[in-house]
Structure formats: C-alpha cells, structure tokens
Amino acid sequence: MINREWHLLSRPVGWPKSEDFALVEAEIPTPREGQVLVRNEYLSVDPYMRGRMSAAKSYVAPFELGKVMQGAAVGEVVESNAEGIAVGDHVLHFLGWREYAATDAKNVVKVDPDAAPLSTYLGVLGMTGLTAYAGLLRTASFKEGDSVFVSGAAGAVGSQVGQIAKLKGASRVIGSAGSDEKVKLLVEEYGFDAAFNYKNGPVGEQLRAAAPDGVDVYFDNVGGDHLEAAIGSLNQGGRIAICGMISVYNSTEPVPGPKNLARLIQTRGRIEGFLVGDHYDLQPEFVAEVGPWVASGALKHRETVVEGIENNLEAFLGQLRGDNTGKMIVKL
Ligand SMILES: NC(=O)c1ccc[n+]([C@@H]2O[C@H](COP(=O)([O-])OP(=O)(O)OC[C@H]3O[C@@H](n4cnc5c(N)ncnc54)[C@H](OP(=O)(O)O)[C@@H]3O)[C@@H](O)[C@H]2O)c1
C-alpha cells in the first residue's frame, strides 16, 4: 500500500508552476503510541497556503522544501493507538496534501458524519465559516441596520459573510465577484441586495452604483482596488475587516496601498486585520447559531469538489484563479 503526498520542491515566484511541486509516493506511516492513522477523505485547499509556499516570515511557518505540505483534512481513523479514538471514527486534522496521515490524538478533533456532510467541516461549518462569523461580528463589529460590502463574495468566506449579515439584519448587502454567473448566484440564491462583476469596470464606480448610500462595513478578501473603493464609499464610523488580500498573493513587487486613506479621518473609519486562529473562543457560539441556519437551508453554501489526490495542486491553483464557487475541496 502506497501513500501519495504533495511535496514543495521550490518556492514559487509569482504564480506557482507545476515544476514547483511533486506528487511523491511514500510508505503509509505507522502510528506510534498515542497516535492514530487517518485515511483522508476530503482535503482543503486555501489561499493562505500560497503564503506558506514562500520563505517570508509570517504568522505560520513556511512549508519546508522537499517535504509534504500541510492543510486541513477530514478522514476516517483506520488504526488507533490512542485512548478515546476508535477505528471508524471520523476526524478533522491538519495533515492534508496526502492520502494517509499518522498524527497525535491531541491534534485531531472528532467530527460526526451523521450530523453534517464531512466536507462541511472544512467549509461552512469549519474554518472558513468561522472566519466569516468572527470577522463580520467581532472584527467589523457588525450591527443590525449596517450596510455591508464583501469582496470575494462567491467564495467560501465571502458567501457566508453576506448571508450572515442578511440573516442578522443588514440594511443592504453588496458583493463583488469575478464572473457574471457568480454575480447572479449572489443575488438570486444568496439574497444579496446587489452584486457586481469586478472585471466589468472600475470597482469604485460599480460600488458607488451598488451602494448609493455608502457602506458601514467592508469585509475585505481581495485588497487592492477593492479596498480603495470601499474606503471611498465608507460611511461615518465605518469599519473595514481585513480578512485577506488575494489580489496580491502572487505579486512579485510590493503593492501600493490605497491612495485615499485620509478619508478615514473624516469618516472616523477603522481598518483592522484579523486571523481566524485568534477567534476559536467563538466556535461554540458559531456552531450554535450557524449550524441550524445551514441545516434549515436559511444559509446556503456551495462546494467545488475536485476528485483525486493527483488533482490537489490543480484545485489549489484553480482556487487562486477563481474556478471555485464556495469552498474548494478535494475528494479522495
Ligand atoms: N484572516 C483569516 O484568518 C483568513 C481565513 C480564511 C481565509 N482568509 C482569506 O479570505 C479570502 C477568501 O478565502 P476563501 O478560502 O474563502 O477563498 P475563496 O474566496 O473561496 O477562493 C478565492 C477566490 O478569490 C477570488 N480571486 C482570486 N483572485 C482575485 C483577484 N485578483 N481579485 C479579486 N478576487 C480574486 C476568486 O473568485 P472570483 O472569481 O470572484 O475572482 C476565488 O474564487 C482569502 O483572501 C483568504 O486568504 C483569511
């Protein structure tokens, strides 16, 4: 039995190329005392992984060259040397980009496949869902009646931000996305009040048309011209939560900041970045509030599912290109 796993061979410059990676065959690891062996069933690919491919110092260590990469995954325990975890249990853990993983029991969280589909623990009920919840409610201090703009709005985080805002009484929710089909989905299926395709014209102009009364909250997944446009449309006391800046992740040169930061003075606006890892105290509240919305269909979610470990890299690159609608998942 062979374990296939994705190694990082060289640090990408600009857009990652297939030569920077290799799908390598290895032995299936033997779990030591206190460990479990997991057969991964779903792997997550996430934009932050692009940062770990570079050597730059960040909040999480770079992937090591010549070694298997990491990421969130869910799978079935096929061997257990750990108390409290049995063969057949399903667990969430952090050793993705591979078919089999041996890891300490303390590094896994049991998940219930009967309570929700396994893949949702990587998305709407997992890290990206909590990111939307924490960023909107805590970092952006969302309150009923706010007008909310979110970029990357058809993606995993963005689609949840807009819907949570609606469910919690936003006066207006505006989203931007990179295709007309995504824009249609935002309005027709997710209940956004307005949406636009950022590729169809200047973001500032499109935002002003979609939010004539301005925005109280901007949830930034993109950075660049989106951030500048949001500052330009910010209302008094407006709040901007910086979740991600995917438009610059493959940049090879430093990217200029917004030209209109001085607007924060007149608006008394606030910009604050956040990391979901700092907000896991909200997990019980998040599951209690969002779980029933997902179960009832009040909060909708999509997944783009790519099959096979051999397509793990392509799924990751596809997400950076915008091939996904909702959470990008690899099914093994
Ligand atoms: N702070 C945190 O703790 C945290 C946690 C999770 C995620 N994040 C960040 O949140 C953002 C969304 O993550 P996600 O997992 O939900 O990914 P996602 O939105 O599901 O996928 C990424 C999307 O970004 C869009 N995109 C790519 N290049 C773009 C560009 N140049 N301009 C505008 N949009 C672009 C694409 O959609 P289009 O077709 O619309 O272009 C793509 O589908 C990312 O920036 C990520 O790094 C942060």
pLDDT value at 110 more than 90: yes
Q: Is the CB of 52 under 6 A from ligand 1?
A: no
Q: Are 13 and 30 in contact (CB under 8 A)?
A: no
Region 266-284 average pLDDT: 97
Residues 115 and 31 in one domain: yes
**pLDDT band of 6, cuts 50, 70, 90:** very high
Q: What is the pLDDT of residue 97?
A: 98
Protein residue whose Cα sits closest to atom 19 of ligand 1: 155
Q: What is the pLDDT of residue 89?
A: 98
Q: What is the pLDDT of residue 14?
A: 96
Distance CA(127)–CA(120), nearest Å, equals: 10
**pLDDT band of 1, cuts 50, 70, 90:** confident
**pLDDT band of 109, cuts 50, 70, 90:** very high
Q: Are 34 and 105 in contact (CB under 8 A)?
A: yes
Q: Is the CB of 244 under 6 A from ligand 1?
A: yes
Q: Is residue 223 part of a domain?
A: yes
Q: Is the CB of 157 under 6 A from ligand 1?
A: yes
**What are the contacts of 8-14 at 24+ separation with CB within 8 A?**
8/53, 8/63, 8/64, 8/65, 8/66, 8/67, 8/69, 9/65, 9/66, 10/65, 11/53, 11/54, 11/55, 11/62, 11/65, 12/50, 12/53, 12/54, 12/250, 13/252, 14/250, 14/251, 14/252
Q: Are 170 and 149 in contact (CB under 8 A)?
A: no
Q: Is the CB of 221 under 6 A from ligand 1?
A: yes
Q: 12 burial class (0-12, 13-18, 19+ CB within 10 angstroms)? A: middle
Q: Which amino acid would we find at residue 314?
A: E
pLDDT value at 276 more than 90: yes
Q: Are 180 and 174 in contact (CB under 8 A)?
A: no
Please state, rounded to an integer, the average pLDDT across all residues of the chain: 97
Q: Is the CB of 131 under 6 A from ligand 1?
A: yes
Region 213-229 average pLDDT: 98
Residues 27 and 63 in one domain: yes
Residues 94 and 157 in one domain: no
Taking each helix axis as running N to C, give the angle between helix 224-232 and helix 203-210, from 0 to 180 degrees, rounded to the nearest 10.
Answer: 40
Q: Is residue 292 part of a domain?
A: no
Distance CA(184)–CA(194), nearest Å, equals: 10
Which of 213, 221, 113, 236 lies closest to 160, judged by CA?
221
Region 132-140 average pLDDT: 98
Q: Is the CB of 159 under 6 A from ligand 1?
A: no
Where residue 95 sits, what CATH number does that domain have? 3.90.180.10
Residues 167 and 201 in one domain: yes
Sign of torsion over alpha carbons 307, 308, 309, 312: negative
Q: Is residue 296 part of a domain?
A: no
Which of 169, 55, 74 lies closest to 116, judged by CA?
74
Residues 144 and 260 in one domain: yes
The CA angle 92-96-102, to the nearest 5 degrees, is 75
Q: Is residue 151 part of a domain?
A: yes
What's the predicted TM-score (pTM) here?
Answer: 0.98
Q: Is residue 284 part of a domain?
A: no
Which of 309, 264, 331, 243 lies closest to 99, judged by CA?
309
Region 237-261 average pLDDT: 96
Region 95-123 average pLDDT: 97
The 3-state DSSP class for residue 327 equals strand
Q: How many domains does the chain have?
A: 2
Q: Are 157 and 221 in contact (CB under 8 A)?
A: yes
Where residue 252 sits, what CATH number does that domain have? 3.40.50.720
Residues 182 and 208 in one domain: yes
Residues 115 and 140 in one domain: no
Residues 172 and 307 in one domain: no
Instruction: Ligand 1 pocket test: pick from 133, 149, 157, 282 the residue with the most ligand atoms within 8 Å of its Cβ.
Output: 157
Distance 51 CA to ligand 1 centre (A): 13
Which of 101, 140, 87 lies closest to 5, judged by CA?
101
- How confident is the model over 14-66, as pLDDT tens digits? 999 999 999 999 999 999 999 999 999 999 999 999 999 999 999 999 999 99
Q: Is residue 288 part of a domain?
A: no
Q: Is residue 178 part of a domain?
A: yes
Q: Is the CB of 279 under 6 A from ligand 1?
A: no
Q: Is the CB of 324 under 6 A from ligand 1?
A: yes
Distance CA(90)–CA(67), nearest Å, equals: 26
Q: Are 104 and 34 in contact (CB under 8 A)?
A: yes
pLDDT value at 324 more than 90: yes
Region 176-182 average pLDDT: 98
Which of 198, 230, 202 lies closest to 214, judged by CA?
230
The parent domain of residue 53 ranges over 2-123+301-331
Give the count of beta carbons closer than 10 Å to the beta carbon of residue 274: 16
Residues 237 and 103 in one domain: no
Q: Is residue 270 part of a domain?
A: yes
Region 320-331 average pLDDT: 98
Buried b (16+ CB within 10 A) or exposed e, 89-125: bbbbbebbbbbbbbbebeebeebeeeebebbbbbbbb
Protein residue whose Cα sits closest to atom 6 of ligand 1: 128
Residues 137 and 109 in one domain: no
Residues 155 and 112 in one domain: no
- How confident is the model over 195-208, as pLDDT tens digits? 999 999 999 999 99
Instruction: Ligand 1 pocket test: pick from 128, 130, 246 the residue with the most ligand atoms within 8 Å of its Cβ.
Output: 246
**What are the contacts of 111-117 at 24+ separation with CB within 8 A?**
111/74, 116/291, 116/294, 116/295
Q: Which helix (H) or strand (E) holds 37?
A: strand 35-44
Rounded percentage of the chain residues whose pLDDT exceeds 70? 100
Let me know how long the chain is: 332
Q: Which helix (H) or strand (E) holds 127?
A: helix 127-134
Q: Which two tokens stand for residue 221?
A: 């997944």
Residues 89 and 67 in one domain: yes
Region 279-308 average pLDDT: 97
